[in-house]
A and B are shown apart, each in its own frame.
Chain A
Amino acid sequence: QKEVEQNSGPLSVPEGAIASLNCTYSDRVSQSFFWYRQYSGKSPELIMSIYSNGDKEDGRFTAQLNKASQYVSLLIRDSQPSDSATYLCAVNTPKAAGNKLTFGGGTRVLVKP
């Protein structure tokens, strides 16, 4: 059973539109959720963290968490060509002391001018 699942994409959006990315996770005791952006050949860059149910906004990004549905999403408003990247969902499930992050496979986003 996959622990963190994402649609691999590519998700193609026109410039200025909203990109909507989804992530589901399997372990109900997961507590912390993160979105990373990864450009090709580069390292993951943290863009959002969310810990409680509801919405969290930061600039053009909004993360949404629904623990009952085991679902976390990321909205990118006013998408720009520079937003073209792979977006990784990461989940922390505190089963041990190590603060391990489990990553999904990522959703590739293409923003077309």
Chain B
Amino acid sequence: EPEVTQTPSHQVTQMGQEVILRCVPISNHLYFYWYRQILGQKVEFLVSFYNNEISEKSEIFDDQFSVERPDGSNFTLKIRSTKLEDSAMYFCASSETGTAHEQYFGPGTRLTVT
């Protein structure tokens, strides 16, 4: 069964450093998403991406964040200058179509900022 994959599973970085989290969405899916979950808190939407552009972003997704689809398979989330409060699980998700369609989540990347 096709699944979303993410690398790395765990990333430790120092405050102020740049990190890139990588995702490979399900191959026939067209919509891609990033969510995050701070330990013990809700899953929060960050950004959605379709047709090589951002279709929606949350207030969390400020200028420090960017997304890119560098090739036909990868989808990346870059955090330019990490802060302690960026420590969280970051989940990539994908869906076949847009409105109303099921989103399937990857296993996540645990980001620890020290």
Contacts and interface: CB of A to CB of B under 8 A. Distances in A.
Most chain A C-beta atoms within 10 Å of own C-beta, residue among B55, B95, B107: B55
A94 B48 CA distance: 13
B98 A97 contact: yes
A17 interface: no
Interface residues of A, number: 26
Contacts of B50: 97-98
The 8 A-B residue pairs with the shortest CB-CB distance in the complex, in nearest-first order: A98-B56, A98-B48, A32-B100, A103-B43, A98-B55, A43-B105, A96-B56, A97-B55
B25 interface: no
B104 A46 contact: yes
Interface of B: 31, 33, 35, 41-45, 47-48, 50, 54-58, 89, 91, 95, 98-108
Given A102-B45, A103-B42, A46 B102 contact: yes
Nearest to A49: B102
Interface of A: 31-32, 34, 36, 42-46, 49, 51, 88, 90, 92, 94, 96-106
Nearest to B49: A98
A49 B100 CA distance: 9
A99 B98 CA distance: 6
Contacts of A105: 41-42
B102 A100 contact: no
A22 to B, nearest CB: 17
Nearest to A46: B102
9 contacts: A49-B102, A92-B100, A97-B98, A99-B33, A99-B56, A99-B103, A101-B43, A102-B45, A103-B44
B56 A44 contact: no
Interface centre among A34, A36, A51, A100 (most CB of B within 10 A): A100
B55 A45 contact: no
A82 to B, nearest CB: 19
